[in-house]
Amino acid sequence: MINLIFHLLATESVSKMNKNRFTINSITTGIAIVMLLLTVGTGATSSIILRNTAYAQSATLGEPFFVEKGINTAQGEIGPNRTHYTFAANGTMNGNIEVTTTGDFVSVSKGNNLELNKGQAVVMTKDGSEMANYTFIEVGNATTFIGAEAWNTNSTGELSFLNNALSIYKLEAGEGGNYSVTQWLWK
Spatial distance between the Cα atoms of 26 and 1, rounded to a whole number of angstroms = 22
Categorize the per-residue pLDDT at 58 as very low, low, confident or very high, splitting at 50, 70 and 90. low
Backbone angles phi, psi at 9, to 5 degrees: -75, -40
Name the pTM for this structure. 0.72
pLDDT value of residue 59: 59
- What Å distances lie between residue 75 and 85, 113, 119, CA to CA? 4, 19, 13
Contacts of 36 (CB under 8 A, 6+ apart): 5, 9, 137, 139, 146, 147, 148
List C-alpha distances in Å: 11 to 14, 15, 33, 137. 5, 6, 11, 14
pLDDT in tens, 103-148: 999 999 998 989 999 999 999 999 999 999 999 999 999 899 999 9
- Distance (Å, rounded) from C-alpha 8 to C-alpha 55? 26
What domains can you pick out in the chain, each with its CATH number?
2-60 (no CATH), 66-185 (2.40.160.20)
